[in-house]
Amino acid sequence: MEIAIDIDDPMPLFAQLVSQIKHAVGSSALAPGNALPSIRQLANDLDINAKTVAKAYRQLERDSIIQTRGYRGTFVHPDAQANCTIDLDAIITGKLEATIIACRADGATDSEIRIAFSNVMNNKKGA
Protein backbone atom coordinates (compact mmCIF):
# COMPACT_ATOMS: atom_id res chain seq x y z
CA MET A 1 0.00 0.00 0.00
CA GLU A 2 1.48 3.33 -1.07
CA ILE A 3 0.45 6.88 -0.30
CA ALA A 4 1.31 9.96 -2.31
CA ILE A 5 1.56 13.60 -1.30
CA ASP A 6 2.11 16.75 -3.28
CA ILE A 7 4.36 19.31 -1.61
CA ASP A 8 3.02 22.08 -3.89
CA ASP A 9 -0.60 21.35 -2.94
CA PRO A 10 -2.18 24.18 -0.88
CA MET A 11 -3.54 21.55 1.52
CA PRO A 12 -1.12 21.16 4.49
CA LEU A 13 1.14 18.12 4.27
CA PHE A 14 -0.09 16.63 7.56
CA ALA A 15 -3.69 16.97 6.34
CA GLN A 16 -2.77 15.18 3.10
CA LEU A 17 -1.25 12.37 5.15
CA VAL A 18 -4.32 12.13 7.40
CA SER A 19 -6.60 12.08 4.39
CA GLN A 20 -4.54 9.43 2.56
CA ILE A 21 -4.35 7.12 5.57
CA LYS A 22 -8.08 7.56 6.27
CA HIS A 23 -8.77 6.76 2.62
CA ALA A 24 -6.59 3.63 2.85
CA VAL A 25 -8.52 2.51 5.94
CA GLY A 26 -11.88 3.36 4.37
CA SER A 27 -11.08 1.41 1.21
CA SER A 28 -9.88 -1.58 3.30
CA ALA A 29 -6.35 -1.27 1.90
CA LEU A 30 -5.35 -1.05 5.55
CA ALA A 31 -7.14 -3.49 7.82
CA PRO A 32 -7.57 -3.11 11.61
CA GLY A 33 -4.43 -4.36 13.35
CA ASN A 34 -2.15 -3.65 10.39
CA ALA A 35 1.17 -2.10 11.33
CA LEU A 36 2.13 1.35 10.08
CA PRO A 37 5.66 2.59 9.41
CA SER A 38 7.50 4.53 12.08
CA ILE A 39 7.38 8.32 11.97
CA ARG A 40 11.03 8.52 10.94
CA GLN A 41 10.68 5.92 8.17
CA LEU A 42 7.66 7.67 6.63
CA ALA A 43 9.27 11.11 6.97
CA ASN A 44 12.47 9.92 5.31
CA ASP A 45 10.62 8.13 2.50
CA LEU A 46 8.54 11.22 1.75
CA ASP A 47 11.49 13.54 2.35
CA ILE A 48 9.48 15.70 4.75
CA ASN A 49 9.96 16.79 8.36
CA ALA A 50 9.33 14.11 11.00
CA LYS A 51 7.24 16.63 12.98
CA THR A 52 4.75 16.76 10.08
CA VAL A 53 4.29 12.98 10.17
CA ALA A 54 4.09 13.07 13.98
CA LYS A 55 1.33 15.70 13.77
CA ALA A 56 -0.60 13.54 11.28
CA TYR A 57 -0.21 10.47 13.50
CA ARG A 58 -1.36 12.45 16.57
CA GLN A 59 -4.50 13.57 14.75
CA LEU A 60 -5.19 10.03 13.54
CA GLU A 61 -4.69 8.72 17.07
CA ARG A 62 -7.06 11.35 18.45
CA ASP A 63 -9.66 10.23 15.90
CA SER A 64 -9.07 6.57 16.89
CA ILE A 65 -7.91 5.64 13.38
CA ILE A 66 -4.57 4.42 14.64
CA GLN A 67 -3.18 3.43 18.02
CA THR A 68 0.34 3.37 19.39
CA ARG A 69 1.32 0.26 21.32
CA GLY A 70 4.50 1.45 23.02
CA TYR A 71 7.74 0.13 21.54
CA ARG A 72 5.84 -2.31 19.28
CA GLY A 73 4.85 0.50 16.97
CA THR A 74 1.75 2.05 15.47
CA PHE A 75 -1.22 -0.01 14.30
CA VAL A 76 -4.59 0.54 12.66
CA HIS A 77 -7.26 0.88 15.39
CA PRO A 78 -9.77 -2.03 15.67
CA ASP A 79 -12.63 0.45 15.10
CA ALA A 80 -10.79 2.47 12.47
CA GLN A 81 -13.19 1.78 9.63
CA ALA A 82 -16.17 3.07 11.60
CA ASN A 83 -14.17 6.00 13.00
CA CYS A 84 -12.79 7.20 9.69
CA THR A 85 -16.28 8.06 8.52
CA ILE A 86 -16.71 10.41 11.46
CA ASP A 87 -15.88 13.98 10.53
CA LEU A 88 -14.80 15.55 13.80
CA ASP A 89 -14.49 18.98 12.17
CA ALA A 90 -18.13 18.83 11.04
CA ILE A 91 -19.24 17.78 14.55
CA ILE A 92 -17.34 20.65 16.20
CA THR A 93 -18.64 23.15 13.62
CA GLY A 94 -22.21 21.93 14.16
CA LYS A 95 -21.99 22.24 17.94
CA LEU A 96 -20.43 25.71 17.75
CA GLU A 97 -23.08 26.87 15.31
CA ALA A 98 -25.83 25.66 17.63
CA THR A 99 -24.22 27.40 20.61
CA ILE A 100 -23.75 30.67 18.69
CA ILE A 101 -27.38 30.62 17.54
CA ALA A 102 -28.51 30.06 21.18
CA CYS A 103 -26.27 32.91 22.42
CA ARG A 104 -27.63 35.27 19.77
CA ALA A 105 -31.17 34.27 20.73
CA ASP A 106 -30.29 35.23 24.33
CA GLY A 107 -29.26 38.71 23.09
CA ALA A 108 -25.46 38.37 23.02
CA THR A 109 -23.62 40.31 20.35
CA ASP A 110 -21.06 38.66 18.05
CA SER A 111 -18.32 40.66 19.75
CA GLU A 112 -19.37 39.38 23.19
CA ILE A 113 -19.53 35.83 21.88
CA ARG A 114 -16.02 36.16 20.40
CA ILE A 115 -14.58 37.51 23.69
CA ALA A 116 -16.34 34.80 25.70
CA PHE A 117 -15.11 32.12 23.29
CA SER A 118 -11.58 33.46 23.47
CA ASN A 119 -11.69 33.54 27.29
CA VAL A 120 -13.05 30.00 27.48
CA MET A 121 -10.36 28.80 25.10
CA ASN A 122 -7.76 30.48 27.30
CA ASN A 123 -9.30 28.85 30.39
CA LYS A 124 -10.45 32.19 31.85
CA LYS A 125 -13.60 32.47 33.94
CA GLY A 126 -16.56 34.60 32.90
CA ALA A 127 -16.91 37.06 30.05
Q: Which residues of this chain interact with another protein, rule CB under 8 A?
A: 1-9, 21, 24, 30, 35-38, 40-42, 44-48, 73
| Amino acid at residue number 75 | F
Nearer to another protein, 37 or 94 (CB): 37
| Amino acid at residue number 101 | I
Least distance (Å) from another protein to the CB of residue 8? 4
Nearer to another protein, 45 or 110 (CB): 45
| Amino acid at residue number 40 | R
Nearer to another protein, 44 or 118 (CB): 44
Least distance (Å) from another protein to the CB of residue 17? 10
CB atoms within 10 A of CB 114: 12
Least distance (Å) from another protein to the CB of residue 27? 12
Which of these, 48, 49, 56, lies nearest to 18 by C-alpha position? 56
CB atoms within 10 A of CB 56: 24
